[in-house]
Structure 1
């Protein structure tokens, strides 16, 4: 089979099955994205309770206060995270719980369950943010199930910091800039960095880029599977459809003929008559289609076994019709025709 024939038939295969291929591609994309979504939900099933509890906590109005910290030489202390890490440590949280009678450490455990770890860009429900211009530390508390509880916790932390019990606070002078109150002191652009309902909006939601990636992967898988299934169905089907559904020898001639093609200057009869020979045997399972091609020197048969003993063909033509000619019939007739030790001209009509 020549390269031109391979390309031509593969292109015809794609055109004939374009809607099936498109459907398979779309189904592949949908299935992969859906499977990924289902796996994500399954993996995160144990995190739903933590998510719901944390969303409830983050939905409460926060309590906040502001301080200014200087060190012994009068310079501003600039590391708000040191205070925040101290305040968020379990021993200190347990101490504040004992002083206020409010249990709120679940806020921290829920953040850990959801992998909402503290980073330079995200500080969580208990956050310490430094104003780079003024040096003021703003401490924000969204850790309890009511604004009043947040305020009580904020007041207990403010008292703790003013006492200066922690070893790292030696030499620090703390000035209260804003007393604890139920309020939002942080500018709006910093709210995504702290515990708010919006900061949970990405939980359990696939990243758009990842969704696109999985869609592309699914489409490719669907495309490959569709092509494979359709190709195998054609190859192992009972009827001949494309040139790769059958074989012929190197010395044989193979022609593809598109019936009814507009603007064609030749027809099937021309292919049967040229070149002129005394007697040409034409074998086809669908001889009824060839009634218009009858001419002197052409002998039409359904089976080569019906060839008269007196016949002496000098040229052999085997005609195939897509979706009509049986593969078994073709192989049997091809093998018998090769016994004449003549090249076989195979005309594939589609």
Structure 2
């Protein structure tokens, strides 16, 4: 596997393998001791792992959408498109690993697969993810074989859009959580896919970094619109919940998103050529946005049940991921990086073999 891998990529590969081993070890610890080792409870049941899941799926599906769109607009060449599909596939696989780990018990995952309860958006999300990954695999094989890919690229892009819409509806369907139960959840998820996908596109094709800059500005505008509306025109509950985001226990995640996820990558793109670092900051910032959205939305229920009148009790809540949850999340990312480099190496190995065979024939 390492034959066609550069020294820098070998270092990344080793680091990814170490993270994967640590993450698997942490997952085993979670299986043996229960979900309590992740710090999640009856108030906050979705934390870092699900936030990163939403972000990494958004990035992968967003890039797949752009690959499909490039079939018509031609802003990616064949090599860039092939790398983009591989990147997208690895990102979505990382999300799948995170879901399996976060469920707490493999039996629950098997139940999810076999239930076929398509009235559940959780089940729909799983099957959309599966279908999108299958389409991405077919797309990658056909692109690598230099076959006509416009039709399969269109199907993959449509499935990618569907996956993001289903995830937005999954969150918005939780009507007991006022912060989530809004059409803006779907809009926010689509903007996140644009941000994550354009970030990965900038890594593959730096000449398109301006698309990433537009996505950063769009994300900032949508975030300020969501926050400002809740603070100014919302109910007491909405204002109290959003206060916990801008000046309460979840503020670190909110300002992390704004600074590291938007301001820093925008500055890097304008003043330097450090596109990879800018893209990494953008995706990490997207995960921070999903984290404060999840945490603030989950604490709403406790506030409604325990308080009458002005609502300030969310100030009592805080959420800090435990080392086990951080290790599990990092491990899943390590598996995703390892998978991407494996696919990339296999593609180049096949290409080198084809060139050698051609030379021998001559």
TM over 0.5: no
| Higher radius of gyration, 1 or 2 | 1
Larger RCO: Structure 1 or Structure 2 (Cα < 8 Å, ≥ 6 residues apart)?
2
TM-score, normalisation: structure 2: 0.23
**Larger relative strand fraction:** 1
TM-score, normalisation: structure 1: 0.23
**Larger relative helix fraction:** 2
